[in-house]
Amino acid sequence: MRQGYRLGIGLIVAVLFAVQHAVQLLLSGSRRTFLGDVVSLAFVAAVAEFSTMALGRRIARRPAGTDERVSTATVFAIATVLLVLDLFAKVLSPYLATQRQPPPTIPLLVVVGLWLAVIGIAARRPRDAERWCMIGLIGLIFGTRVLVLWVSPFDRLTGDMLPVIDRGLGDLFAGRFPYLNYPPPMPYLSGMFLAYVPPKLLNIDIRITNLILDVIAAFVVMRFSPRPAGREGTGERGFALDQLALPFFMLHPPWIYYSVNTQFSPCLFATALLGRAITTAGPRLQALTLGFAVGSNQMLVALGPILFGYWLANHGWRRAFALSALAAGVFLAMIAPFLLWNPWQFVNVAFMSRGEFSDALMSGRFTILPPLRRLIPFASPILSIFAMGIAAFAATRGRRPESVVAAMAIGLCAVLLVQPVSFSHYFLPVIVLAAIATGDSGTNP
């Protein structure tokens, strides 16, 4: 598979993710509805192609699992372009979800200077180029987020998600039950909510958690790839794309903004762990990370039936149910303190108080639900079950771990497109999974 094709499809995914905000913000009426539907369908198609490369393999006549390396020079070039976009994010802010203030000069010069220093060291030490490239990418992910954090005071955030978590932690530390239903409610599960305890205890900005978890997620995806970076003496140089896709996406200006200023980094961290466990580890660790992922975000329960299909095809009924029980046990252990504290209130706020947007409010968002729910009674649950069933069936046909991650990416994307509430950052876990699959999926053993 040609690198350019893969990277081009990844670029389309990134552009469509960014364009959705512009459609919703700048258009109105029937134009916004029509283009919103077009962008939604194009996005799921791009995610499907990026995670499976089904069309690309046919064009290139390459079988699933064919591995091509991306040179460090290419990595440095792409990351530098993304850094430039990040530094000029204020210019893009009238159209995209990015910060509205320019980064401060001295921190900006530090980030740019360190990046240039890494490039220089890698050029002088070609034997260690992959190591320095990895260090540089992870450092760039952290540095670009620091620049956004610097110009986005916590008390001026436009969203209510992190302030609600901050309020909930204050209630918890005061001995009060944090799952309260007064507007806005605090419905976030333990894996997400409690991730912000350390900075709250230290009385610092709780968004520090987002920066740390993003760095760890990038490190895990790059370091524990089944196709690691080239090593001296092996004759193999450069990176596999499954190591690079997620770091590249994480340098996308809207991703940085959502990553810093929403509550989704713990969810994305858990999703990255799950994806990597499927591609590199055994079924027991897969079950543990599935339970952890669902314990960080309710919507990730859609991944359970898909992974169950893979377990069923590869390990049989008895093992598949045992692994599902293990995943459920992890999830229940995570929510147990709050479930035992106040069962009715917790279940009501975390699971039962589900909002629903009107068709007018959904217009232009990532969704295909409004026209479908005019035709199908109970369209959202019916179509969600249908999407999970199709993805689970696809997982039973896949014999390579990447094919399961691809099925999870596509299935989750389809499920989210028929939910009654939609925000762009809901789809970030979809891109995480697609990035880990990166086109090496398929049914070939």
- DSSP letter for each residue of 134-168: HHHHHHHHHHHHHHHHHTS-GGG-SSSHHHHHHHH
Q: Is the sign of the CA dihedral 99, 47, 382, 359 positive or negative?
A: positive
> How many Cβ atoms sit within 10 Å of the Cβ of residue 156?
7
Residue 441 has pLDDT above 70, yes or no: no
pLDDT value at residue 445? 30
User: Which tokens belong to 385?
Assistant: 């079950």
d(CA 374, CA 273): 38
Q: How large is the average pLDDT for residues 240-262?
A: 94
> pLDDT category, 233, cuts 50, 70, 90?
very low
> pLDDT category, 444, cuts 50, 70, 90?
very low
* Residue whose pair of structure tokens reads 């992870």 in the numeric block: 138
pLDDT value at residue 181? 81
d(CA 401, CA 278): 6
pLDDT digits (tens, 9 = 90+) for 94-121: 888 898 889 999 999 999 999 999 999 9
Q: What proportion of the chain, given as a percentage, has pLDDT over 70?
A: 94
Q: How large is the average pLDDT for residues 153-171?
A: 91
Which pTM value belongs to this model?
0.94
d(CA 204, CA 302): 34
From the number of C-beta atoms within 10 Å of its C-beta (0-12, 13-18, 19+), residue 382 rates as: middle
* 66 vs 226, higher pLDDT: 226
Taking CA atoms, 415 is separated from 178, 187, 301, 389, in Å, by 29, 20, 11, 11
Residue 81 has pLDDT above 50, yes or no: yes
Residue 314 has pLDDT above 80, yes or no: yes
d(CA 72, CA 237): 9
**Where are the chain's structural domains?**
3-437
> pLDDT category, 60, cuts 50, 70, 90?
low
d(CA 293, CA 287): 10
pLDDT digits (tens, 9 = 90+) for 127-154: 889 999 999 999 999 999 999 999 999 9
**DSSP, res 382:** H
